[in-house]
Amino acid sequence: MPITVNHVVISVSQGDITAWQGDMIVNASNSGLYGGGGVDGAIHRAGGPRIAEECAVIRQKQGGVLPGEAAVTSAGIMTFRGVIHTVGPIWKGGNAGEPMILANCYTNSLDLACAHEAHSIAFPNISTGIYNFPKELACKVALDSVIQYVRQRRIPGLPLQRIEFVCFERDNADLYKATLKTYS
């Protein structure tokens, strides 16, 4: 069941984020913005070569994206208004600031979505695949940071109306649904 915080509907679904319907989707990328596997591969495949071309421009301009930060490209041939590429932390045991870096991924992506006047945004479960971040902790960090952001309405007149966590795997979808309930 979705919850509503400060007029923003926050929900969880299971599926492929490239098939989601809304304004902007978030990609779990790497610091060089080189298309990879996982959700990154799915987004580049579905959007076509234009996304990689725009990632190359960002790379040339600013040398890439640091963990916790985010950058925007178009969505190529997908119908989204844009793709927000964020770089999650690689899990190194938990003492290298990984939770804070992951929280920054969510808040910096939300800042960019608001700057682009997005009304809706979908997040994958950043860092919980190839980057090996423990799923339960990642879920808590994701929900804490997004809900705190919406509660504080960091951007005056927040344009966002809908935030969805699109979980590829059943266990993550169940975990997010159960955890979201605890915030209502």
Site residues, ligand APR (CB under 6 A):
16-18, 28-30, 36-42, 88, 124-131, 166, 168-169, 172
Name the residue nearer to ligand APR (CB basis): 136 or 169. 169
CB of residue 93 to ligand APR, shortest distance in Å: 16
Least separation in angstroms between residue 16's CB and ligand APR is 4
Smallest gap from residue 29 Cβ to ligand APR (A): 5
Which one, 31 or 159, has the nearer CB to ligand APR? 31
Helix, coil or strand: residue 8: strand
Q: Are 13 and 173 in contact (CB under 8 A)?
A: yes
CB contact at 8 A, 78 and 119: no
131: alpha, beta or left? (left if phi > 0; alpha if psi -120 to 50)? alpha
In the complex, the smallest distance separating the C-beta of residue 184 from ligand APR, rounded to whole angstroms, is 24
What does the alpha-carbon distance between residue 23 and residue 163 come to, in Å, rounded to a whole number? 10
Q: Are 97 and 133 in contact (CB under 8 A)?
A: no
Helix, strand, coil in percent for the chain, rounding step 5: 40, 20, 40
- Identified catalytic residue from 16, 23, 40, 171: 40
Region of residue 117 (phi > 0: left; psi between -120 and 50: alpha; otherwise: beta): left
Cα(116)–Cα(111) distance, integer angstroms: 9
Q: Which is nearer to ligand APR, 160 or 166 (CB)?
A: 166
Length of the chain: 184
- In the residue annotation, 40 being an active-site residue is answered as yes
Active site members: 40
